Structure 1
Amino acid sequence: MSGCLPSNPWITDDTQFWDLNAKLVEIPTKMRVERWAFNFSELIRDPKGRQSFQYFLKKEFSGENLGFWEACEDLKYGDQSKVKEKAEEIYKLFLAPGARRWINIDGKTMDITVKGLRHPHRYVLDAAQTHIYMLMKKDSYARYLKSPIYKEMLAKAIEPQETTKRRQVELSIIAGCLLFSLQRSKGLFQPNGCY
């Protein structure tokens, strides 16, 4: 006979975890917002992070960069039968001379992209997308992390009660270990033959 199995953590009446981690929750968790500062891909993969970054880019008058990147993602992972139409739309909106949301890419990348658009496929805009991604990563991302937009998001972020309790327990364990080490190093602790 065996003892009771632990309860399944995925089965619960408490929906707090799911509510706090919904894709576009109004106020995200502190851990989620802090994760955006790990690297640019963490920010861009998170729908709420991307939304916040888009807001920042619009304030900097460079929102078209993320718009272009998202359009390229849609082209890559969208319906195969609409690739030609989508590629043309993206060209007209972001790359054509006088485009409404024109993006700034170098001449070499533009040449590669325009040549590729003669025979469009899912990855025809990869060179331009990579250029814009690197531009956002190296330039806009660092400014975003220093911006009031990110700092305010971090300040307003929710720290679930469970996380707070866990940190308090971890800190008390660490404090106990430090005290033990200090006592042992000063010879105040005598281990009655345990070691």
Structure 2
Amino acid sequence: MRKRQQPHIDAPPPAPGQLRPNTCCLCWCGCCKCPWNEDRVERAERQTKMDSIEATEEQPPTLEEVLSWSRSFEKMMRSPEGRNVFREFLRSEYSEENLLFWLACEGLKKETNRTAIIEKARIIYEDYVSILSPKEVSLDSRVREGINQSLAEPSSEMYEEAQLQIYTLMHRDSFPRFLNSPFYRELVDSKRSSCLET
């Protein structure tokens, strides 16, 4: 007899400074039926909460892969060509700093040298978090306060919550527009043309 599925219920966001494990950007319940949550659990087992950009394909993506990006923001972000065309799109919307911040955080998370961690954390703060920076990203006050407290003892993971917030912003806000943009359509058309020529 099949187990009865529990309904998906959105719960309130966590208290300040508290993160719920295995929750996605679309809901707070962490239910098993959420495909984004399944992706996050699988990624957490492999690496960290957000997949490393090291897991990239060696060859340029095929037409099928490019088309699959419309169903998976994470797949596009794992592809160097995908990130490049998405960056061009973000630049056209004057929000390129979101992707640059995310990439800088990925670089920091891979750093093991203490001196380099301190220096990179400071540069990320000055470039993307400081209210004086022209490339400041949009973070809520709670996340920003957490970063300010972490500056006393910088770590390679200190921007993880901010990085997830910006990743979620790009996924929800910019990505749907990207899929309808000439940037994505022209890439799909070029891949289709390549298929016809071979």
Q: Name the TM-score class by shorter chain.
A: 0.5 to 0.7
1:35 and 2:68 are equivalent in the alignment: yes
C-alpha displacement of 1:80: 2.6
Alpha-carbon distance change, 152 to 160 in structure 1, aligned in 2, over 3 angstroms? closer
C-alpha displacement of 1:32: 2.2
**Distance in 1 of aligned mates of 2:112 and 2:188:** 37
**Distance in 2 of aligned mates of 1:127 and 1:112:** 9
1:105 and 2:143 are equivalent in the alignment: no
TM-score when normalising by structure 1: 0.67
**Larger mean Cα displacement after TM superposition, 78-87 or 135-144:** 78-87
In structure 2, the partner of 1:51 is: 84
- Give 3-state SS (helix, strand or coil) of 2:71's partner: coil
Q: Which runs of 5+ in 2 are unaligned?
A: 1-56
Q: Name which of 135, 139, 156 aligns with 1:122.
A: 156
1:140 and 2:170 are equivalent in the alignment: no
- CA offsets 1:137-159 (integer angstroms, 9 cap, x no match): 11101110111110111011155
C-alpha displacement of 1:160: 4.3
**Distance in 2 of aligned mates of 1:22 and 1:134:** 26
TM-score when normalising by structure 2: 0.66
Greater helix share, structure number: 1
**Distance in 2 of aligned mates of 1:155 and 1:37:** 14
- Give 3-state SS (helix, strand or coil) of 2:158's partner: coil
Q: Which has the larger radius of gyration?
A: 1
Q: Which runs of 5+ in 1 are unaligned?
A: 1-20, 165-195
- Aligned residue runs from structure 1 range 1-195, under 5 A: 22-23=58-59, 25=60, 28-81=61-114, 82-158=116-192, 160=195
Larger RCO: 1 or 2 (CA < 8 Å, sep 6+): 1
Cα RMSD, aligned residues only: 1.8
C-alpha displacement of 1:76: 0.1
**Distance in 1 of aligned mates of 2:176 and 2:102:** 18
